[in-house]
Structure 1
Amino acid sequence: MFHRKDRYNWDIMKERARDKRLVDSFNFAIEGMISALQNEKHMKVHTLAAIIIVILAIVINASKVEILIISLSVSFVIITELVNTAVEAIIDLVSPERHPLAKLAKDVAAGAVLVAAINALCVGYLLFYDKLLDIFDGKNKLHVIAGRKGNIAILILILVSILVIVLKSVFQKGTPLEGGMPSGHSAIAFSAFGILLFMTSDIRILVLGFFMAALVAQSRVKSGIHSIREVLAGGALGFAVSFIILLVMSQFGILYN
Structure 2
Amino acid sequence: MQQRSPFKSRGGLERLRAAVKYSLNGFRQAWHEEAAFRQELMLFAVLLPVALVVPVTIVERIVLVSSAVLVLVVELLNSAIEAVVDRVSFDRHELSQRAKDLGSAAVMLSLLVAGFCWLAILGPLVVDLAEW
Deviation at 1:30, TM superposition (A): 2.5
Separation (CA, whole Å) in 1 of partners of 2:55 and 2:14 = 40
- 1:122 is aligned to 2:116: yes
Deviation at 1:24, TM superposition (A): 2.0
Deviation at 1:132, TM superposition (A): 3.1
In our comparison, the structure showing a higher alpha carbon Rg is: 1
Deviation at 1:18, TM superposition (A): 4.2
- What residue number does 2:63 align with? 69
- What residue number does 1:85 align with? 79
Q: 1:59 to 1:132 in 2, by over 3 A?
A: farther
Separation (CA, whole Å) in 1 of partners of 2:95 and 2:102 = 10
- What residue number does 2:32 align with? 38
Q: Deviations over 1:31-55 (max 9, x none)?
A: 2123112221111121112122212
Aligned positions, number: 122
Q: State the TM-score, normalized to the length of structure 1.
A: 0.44
Separation (CA, whole Å) in 1 of partners of 2:78 and 2:37 = 10
Q: 1:122 to 1:67 in 2, by over 3 A?
A: same
- What residue number does 1:107 align with? 101
> Does the aligned pair in 1 maintain the 2:74–2:107 contact within 8 Å?
yes
Separation (CA, whole Å) in 1 of partners of 2:98 and 2:61 = 35
Deviation at 1:64, TM superposition (A): 1.0
Separation (CA, whole Å) in 1 of partners of 2:52 and 2:15 = 37
Deviation at 1:57, TM superposition (A): 1.6
Q: 1:76 to 1:58 in 2, by over 3 A?
A: closer
5+ residue gaps, structure 1, are: 1-16, 140-257
CA RMSD of aligned residues (A): 1.9
> Does the aligned pair in 2 maintain the 1:84–1:113 contact within 8 Å?
yes
Could you tell me which amino acid in structure 2 is paired with residue 92 of structure 1? Answer: D
Q: Percent same amino acid at aligned positions? A: 25
Separation (CA, whole Å) in 2 of partners of 1:62 and 1:54 = 14
5+ residue gaps, structure 2, are: 1-10
Separation (CA, whole Å) in 2 of partners of 1:36 and 1:57 = 24
